[in-house]
Structures are given as structure tokens and as C-alpha cells.
Structure 1
Amino acid sequence: MELESKRQSGLWFAALMVIAMIFWGSSWPASKILTSYTSADIVTFWRFFFAFVASIPIVVILRINLKLDSHSFKLLLLSSLCNGLYSILYFFALNLGSAGRGGVLVTTLTPVFAYLIFFMLSKNHRNPKTNEMLGLMLGIIAGICLLDLPNSHAFSAFNVIFVICAIDWAILSIICQKVRIHPIAINFYNSLFSCILYIPIFIFRDNVLFIFDYDVQFWVMMFVVSILSTAIGTSIYYMGILYVGATKASTFPLLVPFTALLSSYFILGEIPSVLTLFGGTLAIVAIYLINLYKPYHIAQVFKKFRN
């Protein structure tokens, strides 16, 4: 009875994780629509503001401890700078090309860059394993495919900015791993500090409050980006890390490239190129080989079958 209850709760939580990944993927076309209303800096500020407000009841309901020491505070300030930079580049670049291709490019290259950065910064260097080397090779090939060179210049603004976004998010991820507080508290403070970072736009811009005159479509897209994706989706993912472990939880973001492509197709009518699909698939295999692959000895496999 207890085993069946655990199985059902596991399936229920897996369903919630899939929903969170759908929220993350759908934020790409929703963000592109937001940038058609106003500038990237204004969208960025309101995204963080609404995400912070929405995270307050999550923190209260789950009774998350928000206590910070000086070391965690400094790391969170640094991660918030990365977060703020990522967001404004992200919204700006979405005006330059396909939301679906941008979603695949960033979400698949970020884990590859994170591995490279972590490996280079590691004090105890070790030789990469065979699966990691193969994953890196596939990641490089995938990156070349995702740049879509037949249809765009390698150093086009779209490609360069989103590659920078992937590197930036990889650095942010590594920083957040070193913060010793509850993951949901990290999301709370990142939203708060990033929002504070953009408060000066109220001084230098006179159209910040114009968003309250926008139509229903704007507010639906803002709800998707700030509430569903940033506040709820990210909180579900962090809870997944605590509930099922980092390894199992890290398999779910592999769904984001496809949810980004699907939502961009249904919301914006974008049709992905063959290179985007091929490169995205290669990148997912690369991520699996680098972060998730666990080799088993053949003898152990045979032993299992004999038993």
C-alpha cells in the first residue's frame, strides 16, 4: 500500500515537472510578443516585479527560510547581475529572429557551456570521461547546426546575443549551486535583486507605466512569462530537485527545446528548420552524455539477468 502511494505521488510530481517545462518553453513565444509592445528594459523590469510578487505567497505557504549570511548575499548579488543581463539580452534578441530557434539554442547550449566552465575552473582537473568527450563533440556539432549558417551569418546579432545568453546562464547556474540556502529562496532573491537592478528606469524613462493601458494579450503573455514560467515553473523545478534528486530532475529540462518549438508554432506560427530540429536533437544527446549518462559494466548486466 505504501509502495503504491509512493508510486502515485511520484507520477503526480512527474506530471507537475512536465507542466513546469511547458511553462518554460511557452515563455519564449510569449516573450517575443511582449517585446512587440514596448522596449526590452521595461519588459524586463515588469517581468521581475511580477515574478517577485508572485513568489511571496509561495515562500509563505512553503515556509521557506529566507535568512542570508554575507557569503550567500554576495553570491546572490552576482547571480542577479547575471540574471538581469540575461533577461534584457533575451528580450532584445527575440526581436531579431525566431523564438523557437532561440529557445532551442539557449536551453541546449547552456548545459554544455556550464560543463566547460566548471571543468576549467575546477581546482582538481581530471581527464574527461569518454562519454563526456563524445558529448562535447556532439555539443559543438549541435551548436554549429543551431547557428543555422545556410540561412544566417555566424556572427549575426541573433546568434551572438543568444550564445552570450547561454554562457551567461551557465555562469549563473554555477553561482547558484554555491549558494547554501533553499533553492526557492534563491529564485525569490534573484527576482527581488534583479527587479531592484532595473528600478532606475523609472527615473530615466517616462513610459514605464504605459503597460497598464495595453490589451488583454499583453497581460496574458506577461502572466505566462513572469508568473507561470519564472515564479511557478521554476519553483516546481526546484522542489523537484529536493523531491526526486538533482539527477532525475535534470532530465526534465530536456523537454524545454521541444516545448519552445511547439509553443512557438502554435502561438506565432513559426516553422522550425531541419537544422534546428537536428541540432536540437544532437544537443539533447550531448547533454545526456555529459550530465546524465552512467555506464554499467557488462558483467553486472549479465549478473542481473542471471538472478
Structure 2
Amino acid sequence: MTQQNKNIFYILMIFAMAGWGASWVNAKVLSSYVNEYEMIFLRNFFTIITLAPVLIITKKYFHINRRSFLLAVLASVIMIVYLKCYFLGTKHGTASLGGALVTTLIPINTFIFMALFWGKKILKKDIFALIIGAIGVLTMLNIWSFSHEQIFSTQNMYFLGASVLWPALTITSSKITHTSPMVFSMYMYIISTIMVSLFFVDFKAIPFETFDSIFWINILILSIIATTFATTVYFIGIEKLGTNEVSSFIFLVPFFAIVFSIIFLKEEVHITTIIGVILTLFAVKILNNIIIFKKKKIES
């Protein structure tokens, strides 16, 4: 990939991360219109009809083997529970805290899972990073207030649940074989949509008459930009640039979540959230050996 193409792709990655950050604001707005299962159905519906053409254009098509299909079924169940925590957390809490806490805690929890269950070696620098990350998380939860009600509030429990479920989803997805991650995601969206449609959604009770322009703007941003566009750009980025380089862009997600929450929801962001984000992002950088600023080689 030429440097010019890389620069264009970097811009696309920034927009993708902005989409992921904005998704917390979208969920907060949508929580006043629909419940969690209706949100999952509508989000997935628009994602499926927009992702299908992308798979055809990129020649990924829809081939999936039996092992990957069974993993897609398991991943669908995990994703439904994750989205429920994600939705209810933002409904009862703030989009800024959710976007900051969950997105920074996910890579830390992923590392811990890999160390506990898959024998990933823990170095001294990893222990240091985990301590810093723990302090950052506790700071975001405002544990220093020593208020039991605030620390163990409903929204915090949902956010912590989401931060555990997404690594479980990521690890499950990593076990697929001979299947494109984008195709796997497509099946996951289809299966989870069928599940919620059969067991949780009462279509007659969906308040379509209350869906105004604000609702449609937010559901389309959540589906098309935050899911189809962002997911596509992220997976292509991994293929073209590599996991380490793409991972550095994840640092932008909590930033966008906080900024958009302030702009569109008029949320008050506490200094403890900002400090906690900085500490956890520093921990993520150490754990994943992420290099944000690369030194240019000096030509002799």
C-alpha cells in the first residue's frame, strides 16, 4: 500500500472510530424510543442489508464452514447479551462513561482472559500495566467517593458486564477457520436477529408511530456508520496494515464518545472519567505494545 493510500485509509479509520464513539450517543437517544431487543433487531436489520453488498463487492461472498457457523451461533448469543448491557447501561447511565469505561476496559479484559485460560505469558511490564489499568477503571467508577450506591450502580454493573462480554465475543470469533471475519460477522448478525425476533421482540408493540427524524438518524448512524462502515474499514485495515497499526486507532473511541456526549447530550463529564481514561489507555498501550508515534528512519 502506497503512502498516499495509507493516508486515505488513516482518514477512513478516524471516521470509523468516530462512528464507534458516536454509537454510545446513538444508544442513549434510542433508549427513549425502543427497548433493548427492539434496538438489536432494528440495528441488525439495517446492518444486514447494507453489509451484504459490501461482501459481494469485496468478493467475500457468504461461504462459511460448519465449525465457523457453530461459533457464529455461540457468538450471536454472547452479542445479544452484550448489546443488552450496552443499551441498558447507556439508558440508565451516561454515554460518555459507557464509551470511556467499556472501550478502554475491553482490551485489558481480553488480555486477562488470554492469560487465565489460554496460557498467555504475563511479563513484569504487563503486571505494571494491569495495576495502572485497575487504578484507571476504579477512578472512572469514582471509587474514591466511597459511595456504595455510586460504585455499584445499575449502569456501572451493565458497563462492566459489557466489558467482559465483548472479549468473550472477540475470543470466540478468533477461533473461526477458513472464513472471512466479515462473513462471520454477517452470519452473527443474521442469527442474532432471528433469535431476538423469535423470543424477545413483539412486533405489534414496536411504537413505529413515535419514530421521528431523530430516531431514524440515530438508528441509521448506529447501523450503517458505526457497524457496517466501521467494521468493514477495521477488518480491511487489519488485512492491509496489520493488527498493531490498526489497534492504535482504538485510542480515539473514548475521545469521540466523550466529545459527542458533551456536544449532543450536554452531558457533564467528571474529571475522574478523564483521568481514568488516560490511565487505562496507557495500560492498554503497554499491554499490547502499541506504538502510536513511529520514529522516522534517518537516511544516510
TM-score by length of 1: 0.90
Is the 1:138–1:282 contact (alpha carbons within 8 Å) kept by the matching residues of 2? yes
Is the Cα contact below 8 Å between 1:77 and 1:193 reproduced in 2?
A: yes
- Conserved in 1, the CA contact under 8 Å of 2:16 and 2:226? yes
Shift of 1:66: 2.2
> Conserved in 1, the CA contact under 8 Å of 2:64 and 2:183?
no
Structure 2, unpaired ranges of 5+: none
Offset, 1:211: 2.8
Larger Rg: 1
Which residue of structure 2 aligns with residue 186 of structure 1?
Answer: 184
Distance 1:153 1:270 in 2: 17
- Residue 204 of structure 1 and its aligned partner are, at CA, apart by 4.2
1:132 aligned partner, one-letter code: D
- Change beyond 3 A, Cα 1:188–1:203: closer
1:99 to 81, 95, 100: 95
Q: Does 1:61 align with 2:61?
A: no
1:13 aligns with 2:9: yes
Taking the TM superposition and a 5 Å limit, the aligned residue runs for 1:1-307 are 6-122=2-118, 124=119, 126=121, 128-149=122-143, 150=145, 153-180=150-177, 181-200=179-198, 204=202, 206-208=204-206, 210-211=207-208, 213-293=210-290
User: In 1, distance between residues paired with 2:24 and 2:243?
Assistant: 24
Deviation at 1:104, TM superposition (A): 0.5
TM-score by length of structure 2 reads: 0.92
AA partner of residue 274 (structure 1)? I
Report the Cα distance in structure 2 between the residues aligned to 1:85 and 1:274, rounded to whole angstroms. 30
Alpha-carbon offset, residue 90 of structure 1: 1.3
SS in 2 for 1:63: coil
Q: CA deviation at 1:130?
A: 2.3
1:115 CA displacement: 0.5
Cα distance between partner residues in 2 of 1:57 and 1:67: 15
Higher alpha-carbon deviation: 143-152 or 252-261: 143-152
1:297 is matched with which residue? none
How many pairs are equivalent?
292
Root mean square deviation of aligned Cα:
2.1
